[in-house]
Amino acid sequence: GLSNLGNTCFMNSILQSLNAVPELAAAFYHPPERIWSSKAVVAPAYSGLVRDMISGSLGSVVNPSGFLRKVSKQDSRWGDGRQQDSQEFLNSLLEALQSECNRITSKPVYKELQGKGSEEVQAAEAYVYARTWNDSIVDDTFGGLTQSTLQCLACKRTSHTFEPFLGLAVPIPQAAGAVADCLSAFTECEQLEGEDSYKCEACKRCQPHAKRMQIFRPPRVLVLTLKRFAQRGGGHGTPGGYGGFFSRLRGGGTSKNNTALIAVSHHSGSLEGGHYTAQARSCLDGQWYNFNDSHVRQEAGRPGGASSSAYVLFYRMATLPPPSQHSSL
């Protein structure tokens, strides 16, 4: 377990979830030479914490105060003693690790993408260009590519934009029965008319458009944040059904349900306060555990059924694409 240092359950929940990601745990438990820059602050502190957490026995408690001091230098919010959002902490930590472990040592040259050829060619161009800016263990593990498609409803001209991501926030639709329903709502086609219309390059004027967002290249580990707080006034709950849903995604051989849930960051209580816990599958023994700060208990199995507290979910591809580099615990 991890000691609560005063409203740091948000941090503990994410740290336990990340420790269930084998690629990340392996990289920081046995860090390769020069995995982080000489000026790194967060990465070496995180590595030390990962070693303490993995080396500890069941029932032992690790004090993360040293790590908290270092990560608070990168963002002072985490050490101010107030409750924070676990998803915001996750984003901040991954961005810090991405920056400090970046294999790109010189600033790349900005260029406009051509946007020509097939969707696959455009996506490959965007992905390769993105990796000239950020190329790290974080990108290897969590980096994916979204595809935004715009179609003019007048002339049917279609254009595509591909963007890198480390995680996605998905809405909770009415009567959502599974996380797959949230992903379907994220990829739902949207009609853009009136003030929201776009100028069509073919028509040379503003026209109504249809817009659709998709995941073109799924990452090795997909992080989904359920937009619980943004929709609380609308009466949306958190869906149950944590199973794989890559059958809804495009690209990367995702025609089958080939994902596995490996961790969940839970939030219970109000937006202004509440408490964070985690459920995670150990990358050491494959067992599921419930993490409530310093208290840890083994679960009977993976989470299932309805949940009113699930907030950030971590899915790992069961059939992994070839890694750019690989290590094991």
pLDDT, tens digit, 9 for 90 and up, residues 24-65: 999 999 998 889 999 999 999 999 999 999 998 777 999 999
pLDDT at 329: 47
Q: Please check the confidence at residue 88 and state whether its pLDDT lies above 60.
A: yes
In tens, the pLDDT along 263-315 reads 999 999 876 778 999 999 998 999 999 999 999 999 988 887 777 889 999 99
Q: What is the pTM of this model?
A: 0.89
pLDDT at 273: 74
pLDDT at 9: 96
pLDDT at 287: 94
pLDDT at 85: 93
Q: What is the DSSP string of 125-193?
A: HHHHHHHTT--SHHHHHH-EEEEEEEEETTT--EEEEEEEES-EEE---TT--SHHHHHHHHT--EEE-
Element (DSSP H or E) covering residue 47: helix 42-55
Q: Tell me the three state secondary structure of residue 250.
A: coil
Q: Please check the confidence at residue 120 and state whether its pLDDT lies above 50.
A: yes
